Amino acid sequence: MEYRTLGRTGLRVSVIGLGTMVHAGHFGPMKDEESLSAIDAALELGVNFIDTSDAYGAGYSETLLGKALKGRRDKVILATKGGNVMVGPNRGKRNFAVDYIGRVMEESLKRLQTDTIDLYQLHNPNVDVIRSGEIWELLERRKKEGKIRHYGVSINTTEEGVAAIEGGRSDTIQIEYNLLDQEAAEEVFPLARKANIGVIVRVPLRRSLLTGKLKPEDQQQFHGEDVRARNFAGEVFKRELAKVERLRFLEKPGRSLAQAALAFCAVHPAVSIVIAGARDGRQMRENAAAADVRLSADELQRAKELWRNEFNA
């Protein structure tokens, strides 16, 4: 496993991390034993960065992770997030008020069964929240108290990323970047690298699309809490699958499309960690092996040109 420094935090993190959204059933039904096998495999393979959120199953992923890491908490750099309301009358809304974040942070600490969270992230704040001062002051107080070691943001747009960098308060930025959406590399990564802000790539497999295993008929299985029901509604799924077919040139004997997709993200010099979900130990092993994959200059260039041409050439 390759390790990199996460920006100014100084944390040494595995270039491939584990995301736990899948363990709360947001990509179809899950069994706890599958989730636990993914966590076990991650630790066995030297994956030392695990990312979760209080929003994943309204705390379910945090609770599961807390149990799984009992007795081996010191082997993991643990990151979680807060700000998305998942229970009560305001379910589905976001709340970054100081009182709210202060409370849910304490709840995350209890579920994770830890005294300190290595990286606490605001979960999808907008530009106004990022530019406000109060929430950062709270995070700094919690850092001094020892409840968190570092803090950052998980964001949806490049505008939010730029605001976080310009504000200078966020130690890290977690942002979507993959073969199908490369905007962050042009708009955010150069600024983050210059400011020594750690970059965590999320959604590197574009919600399973870039595994290359999905077929048009699979859309019928996306319902309920499965995030793909919303993300790939209507004709979107077919259009995205067509783009994936244009990327099949990245598959090689002994190298899956998923591994190539993760390696594409990891090769950018601004990126410290690429976090992908893993349903079980087998998927975790496949993901971890991507740390050793190297794409050629021609492959990288072709992938970039396809995106710039909207996969039409």
Residues serving a catalytic function are 56
Q: What angle do CA 210, 158, 156 make, to 5 degrees?
A: 60
Q: Which amino acid is present at 93?
A: K
Residue 194 class from Cβ within 10 Å (0-12 exposed, 13-18 middle, 19+ buried)? exposed
**CA–CA separation, 182 vs 227, rounded Å?**
21
**CA–CA separation, 254 vs 250, rounded Å?**
11
Contact 47, 18 (CB under 8 A): yes
Distance of CA 177 to the CA centre of its chain: 10
Q: What angle do CA 300, 303, 304 make, to 5 degrees?
A: 85
Residue appearing with tokens 């100084």 = 10
Helix, strand, coil percentages for the chain (3-state, nearest 5): 45, 20, 35
Strand, helix or coil for residue 251: coil
**CA–CA separation, 69 vs 177, rounded Å?**
28
Q: How many helices (H) and strands (E) does the chain have?
A: 13, 10
